[in-house]
Structure 1
């Protein structure tokens, strides 16, 4: 059997294992290990398994993952995420659709702490859904805005998606973080526009909330200042060259812990729970990364990436045409695969193609991560939809999927804007102080 045939057989076996609900990491371990053994011998497979696990486990750059996850978990258990929502609600909650808009802003703020879409959707769902129900918001709007707003967690830095992309493609984590800032703000703005448009066309879906006094607005904004300061400190520190991404993660995690203690909102039991949850999430991410470094050499040995590259070049399409095909593949895969699984499965195939075409890897990374976001709310797998369903059990999945459709279209519009104007993505990384 040829190397290419072995590679395609391995990919088929991987999809079969995923369809059987084998965890992504273990499925990739099995396929990668057996594939390398078939193409290069058992000794090479066992040697690679030992070396890659140790190399990744001792990588200094990967410390950013548990630290940012811990920062988000601490912010959640201390109520800092609720303070972000309360501040946004106090300012715009009195307008039509204001509670939904406040939820989007709250999701964006929490995304800048947690780096996790699932955590953003879960936390903001618990905070905001009850309030929107209380003021008779349409279920499609309330659940849709939480599911879609949660996706900001993988685009607005710090983002676990960017970290994994950087590790797999050997790009700068700091530059990717900065590249996600303006696209994240563009997407957040389009989400707010979508809410306003829905409430203008169907006013009953998002009635205005009660007015707040200037004193109430001031108190709410003051309550959110500490966590906003942490966001500015971490992202601003990276941009200004004060911190590396790893140092910024340590500063941010330490700052939220100190704020939690100062506010007397972080008992030792809550700190222990947040730390335990962070360790569990980090272990899952590390397993996926180690497994990715097993399957990537297998794909390289099978020459599948070069075969795909030759095929795309044979189509004689312009660079944007090839890029459109790749993004379309990501959009389709997003309907069936979890985001991180898509990254580790497809980057070894597509990344050499786009670099050969001269596509900026930072720009491509933001486009890929945005398409991963769209998968989070695409049927039938859309994990954020199921997260919202767990928080709002009375809402049907069909209702939530209908609710996220306008926001999915807003994400598609954002993707088109970023493809047409790459300078939106590249402006901050190009002005970064090294």
Structure 2
């Protein structure tokens, strides 16, 4: 089974591997001249691996724009500016918190345990950064995943949470909770020792965000007026289907970096071929997700809801993320299609339970993420269902308890929701002061 970190080890430079392997706070300097240091490593391997991290990180960073557009399109006009502000601020805060505490907590000195060390992430001098890849680009790539987990929460609790309490939660999630569970597998912690496998984060990224979104939705409560006294679900249409569609396409595009660069190596022919296979399987799962969701909507409701098709694509993407390398194209399509089907069935279930998820992030990221993680042993013979279930339950239990406590404390100390009047007016006015659609929002509910 492959750890997200140890996939890069080639055995070519045992004397220098400790320099960057687990992001030591003070990397040992290379005493020899730069020419000697360069001769001691495989330059092509270093360069191509670093390039993969760099390009993959850019693609995953672009997913922040996808989340923003998706959420902006699915919330009502009076809350669009708020969603834009939340997404750019959560991305910025998440990256900084990952630097301040998250990266070392996730990767430094885990050694089969429960978490790493505390302290600022530090970067070696370029002349001494001579492992299998540039440590700086590795940090850049990993920090994009951390920000993605926070973006998932934003869409679920949209339209009824104030900006500063929400960002306080993001700081805790990105600085502490996400790195701890990530260290259990990708940092070489106890789950990796137990045989758990999660190639690019169906559980470690997506279900973590999904569990945090679920606890938030339960503790904050539904939007006012969403559920009638008679149990009726009141429709609250989003502001722009074109924006939401653009956001889904951007996320789909960025996922090629999310999954493809999680191979974590590009310096050999085998690695390059693996990246290509991962990208094709990722695309196949998403495409199958769209078509399965459309067929199910036609059969069940006699109409095809475009938002469900968008979430079908995302459900397929989340499902294949746990293992996009070993499936055949047909298997990838089946995994993605089942992920989308679960989304279609979970959305109305949440409404029956009066759990208000504005953008459908819980079905997409939590439910499809669990399915994708469970599906890994079907195509990867080096894994087993016992280890996968252990990982799902452990990560879920920790995240539910930890994020539940965080939401409760923030609610008790500074409050989470705007007033009823502010919520009715729209958070663009009450929280941001800039309306996305000033000519329309004053007349929209």
**TM-score, normalised with respect to structure 2:** 0.30
Identify the structure with the greater helix proportion: 1
